[in-house]
Structure 1
Amino acid sequence: MEHQGAAGQGPEWGPEGAERYPAPGSGQGRRRTQADRDAITVEIGYALFSGVFAAALVFGAVAGPAFFFALPEWAERALPLAGGTLAAAVFVLRITHVLWRFGRRGPDRAGSDGTAADG
């Protein structure tokens, strides 16, 4: 039994199991160019770098006092734990934010208006 496409427009798969692509000009299913793939690679690298940087800042701000000041023992244990937890959350949120914005914007329009890639 063949799986039907959207609104009964026929099967999603061709006769030999090859995926059928949307009609030309529909804006869906176009092949990515090398420039598109390069833009995605750069954006992933930027997301990782900025995520690590933001996480390091958060960790330093929260856990730093435990390393530089004489604090009660509970604080010396709690601050690095809280800093690590917050840093991990900031890392994930930053990467998600950068890549989500890039995905909505698309690789062919990234930075074309002369603005920075992240705002």
Structure 2
Amino acid sequence: MSGYGERRRSQAERDAITVEIGYALFSAAFAAAVLFGAAAGPALLFELPSTVEKVSLRAGLTLAPLVFVVRVVSVLVRFRNGAQPSQPGRTSPDS
């Protein structure tokens, strides 16, 4: 079943992928919730004109899932491209 160029991942690599997926989902859910609260919160808390309330709720319901997907994809693509420090907490000598 293994194709050309494929190799088995070590346990550490599988753990890193699992942690990164969890981070992507958690941070995306948090960002979407904050954006929804900012966009739709005033409509839910205050009595606003009907059109403003509808637009605010629709904006929150439209933007929150979009932000969620964009955040998950951006975190996972960055991880896939190897934008991880080689030694966490350390910088290169010429920085």
Q: TM-score, normalised by structure 2?
A: 0.83
Query: Cα RMSD (Å) of the superposition?
Result: 1.8
Higher relative contact order, structure no. (Cα contacts within 8 Å, ≥ 6 residues apart): 2
Select the residue among 61, 70, 75 that pairs with 2:47.
Answer: 70
Give 1:49's aligned residue: 26
- Paired residues, number: 89
* Alignment CA distance shift 1:100-1:20 (3 Å): closer
SS for the counterpart of 1:77 is helix
Q: How far has the Cα of 1:113 moved from its partner?
A: 3.1
Give 2:4's aligned residue: 21
Give 2:60's aligned residue: 83
Which structure 2 residue ranges, 5 or more long, are not aligned? 90-95
Larger radius of gyration: 1
Q: TM-score, normalised by structure 1?
A: 0.67
Give 2:73's aligned residue: 96
Give 2:15's aligned residue: 38
Give 1:4's aligned residue: none
Q: Distance in 2 between matches of 1:111 and 1:60?
A: 34
Percentage of pairs with the same residue: 55
SS for the counterpart of 2:26 is helix
Q: Deviations over 1:90-118 (max 9, x none)?
A: 00000000000000007xxx443325xxx
Q: Which amino acid aligns with 1:99?
A: L
